[in-house]
Amino acid sequence: MRCPSAAEQDASVAVVSREACQVFHEYSVLVRGHKEDERLHSQTDSREVARERVHIVAAQPEHAADQAEVFYQAVMQGAAGHYDLAQRQQWAARVPRDAERWAARQHRFEVLVAERDARCIGFCEYAPEWPLARIEMLYVYPSLMGQGIGSQLLAAAERDLRERKVRVMSLEASLTLSPGLARRGWHSLGLEHVKRDDVCLKRERFEKRLDQ
Q: Where are the beta strands (DSSP E) in the chain?
A: 55-58, 110-116, 119-127, 132-140, 168-174, 187-196, 199-209
Model confidence pLDDT, tens digit, residues 23-65: 445 544 444 554 455 544 444 444 444 556 899 999 999 999 9
Q: How confident is the model at residue 130 (pLDDT cuts 50, 70, 90)?
A: confident
Query: Across residues 157-161, what is the average pLDDT?
Result: 97
Model confidence pLDDT, tens digit, residues 163-205: 999 999 999 999 999 998 988 889 999 999 999 888 999 999 9
CA dihedral 180, 183, 186, 189 (to 10 degrees): 70
- Which residues make Cβ contacts (< 8 Å) with residue 74, sequence separation at least 6? 139, 140, 141, 142, 145
Model confidence pLDDT, tens digit, residues 65-118: 999 999 999 999 999 999 999 999 999 999 999 999 999 999 999 999 999 999
pTM: 0.76
pLDDT at 17 over 70: no
